[in-house]
Every structure is written in structure tokens, then in C-alpha cells.
Amino acid sequence: MTSPTNRRDQRRTATRERLLTAALELFAAQGYAATTYDHIAERADVGRQTAFNHFRRKEDFVTAWVRQRHEALEQRGEAGTSTTGALADALRTLADLNEREYALAKELHDSGVLHAAFALGAATPQAFVAAAARGHERGEIRAELEPVAVADLVFDAYVTALSRWLSADASHPLADALLARLDLLAAGFGASG
């Protein structure tokens, strides 16, 4: 049997997911600035206060979207791959997500809220940190470098390349731009020999 607490948690999670889906659809369709809590609550079929209870600020929807992407990276499991291979796979995954959700990513970028989401707590994905840590343990990263610093550097390169790609209206393949930056960075952090 499912306990009342589990059912309540399941309902809460389902409501949160419905709200997030509604907000993201509306941001892509009518723009971030034009979307209100009333619009989101109506689309999700909940009360306005319920929307506020789950997402206190409108920016929190964007931060949750970024975190969903990071969680998608963590579900991939790259333990047997080289550091650069694992990071390349993660960057390809992010490129694919951005291409599939281009209208939303473009709107969030152009409205300035995507940059704010990174500043508001969208930390370097754990998948990047784990890949760098494994690489450090295997001697693929120079011993004097901290794995977290390597992961941060790759993530920062991703954020910048994403911003340029969105500003250029996706005029070039995002994955190619990301992998070129990774090659440059790997030449600097890779262990010699």
C-alpha cells in the first residue's frame, strides 16, 4: 500500500512537473516576459497560489529547466570512457537538447533570463565533475589540477558557446563548436605521456 505521505509527495511532484511543463511551453510560445503566473496556473490547471508555492519566482522555472538538463546528463553513465570522451558525450547531449528545444532556449537567452539562471544556482553539472574526477584518478588530467576546476572550465566554455550560438540564430552546429572548445581545453588539462 502507498502511504498518505507518499501519495502527497507524488501529487506534489506531479503538480510541480505540470507547472514546469506549462511554464516552459508558454515561454516558448508567447515569450518569457509576456507569460504571467496566471497564465502558467491556468495552463497547469491549478490555482495561482499553488504555482507560487512551487516556484516562488518566475526565474525558478528556468533554473528548474537547467537542472533537468543536468539530471539528464547524470542518467547517462559514462564510467568506462576517457575524460574527454565522457565530456564530449555530455556536450553532445546538451547540444541535442538545445537544438530540440531551440525556440525555448532562444527565448530564454534573448530575454536575459537564461544567463540569470546560471547565475542563480545552476552549478556545473555533476556529470562534468564526475568525468573530471575519474580522469584525474586515472591520470588523464594533470596531477596539479583540481577536477572541479577542470569541470568548471568546460562548463563555462559550454555556457559561452551556447550564448554565441543562440545569438547567431543557430547559424552553425552547436556540437561542433562545443567539441572544438573541448579539444582546446583538453590540450591544456590533459596529462602528458
Rg (CA), the chain: 19
The grid cell for 82 is: 576517457
Find the angle CA(160)-CA(165)-CA(170) to the nearest 5 degrees.
Answer: 165
Given a cut of 60, whether residue 3 has pLDDT beyond it is yes
Structure confidence at residue 81 (pLDDT): 82
Signed CA dihedral, 26, 73, 180, 115: sign only: positive
Q: pLDDT tier at 123 (50, 70, 90 boundaries)? A: confident
Taking CA atoms, 121 is separated from 25, 181, 185, in Å, by 22, 24, 24
Cα 102 from Cα 90, distance rounded (Å): 18
Q: Stretch 5-14: mean pLDDT, rounded?
A: 89
Structure confidence at residue 4 (pLDDT): 67
- Mean pLDDT score across all residues of the chain: 91
Q: pLDDT tier at 1 (50, 70, 90 boundaries)? A: low
Residue-wise pLDDT tens digits, 151-180: 999 999 999 999 999 999 999 999 999 999
CB 108 within 8 A of CB 122: no
Structure confidence at residue 77 (pLDDT): 65
Structure confidence at residue 74 (pLDDT): 85
CB 63 within 8 A of CB 121: yes
Residue 122 backbone dihedrals phi, psi, to 5 degrees: -85, 85
Structure confidence at residue 75 (pLDDT): 84
Given a cut of 70, whether residue 2 has pLDDT beyond it is no
Delineate the domains of the chain, giving CATH numbers in brackets.
1-56 (1.10.10.60), 58-189 (1.10.357.10)
Taking CA atoms, 46 is separated from 22, 49, 53, 65, 183, in Å, by 11, 8, 11, 20, 47
CB 100 within 8 A of CB 170: no
Identify the residue with better confidence: 123 or 43.
43
pTM: 0.87
Cα 187 from Cα 193, distance rounded (Å): 12
Q: Stretch 133-158: mean pLDDT, rounded?
A: 94
User: Percent of the chain at pLDDT above 70?
Assistant: 93
Residue-wise pLDDT tens digits, 42-87: 999 999 999 999 999 999 999 999 989 988 888 876 656 899 999 9
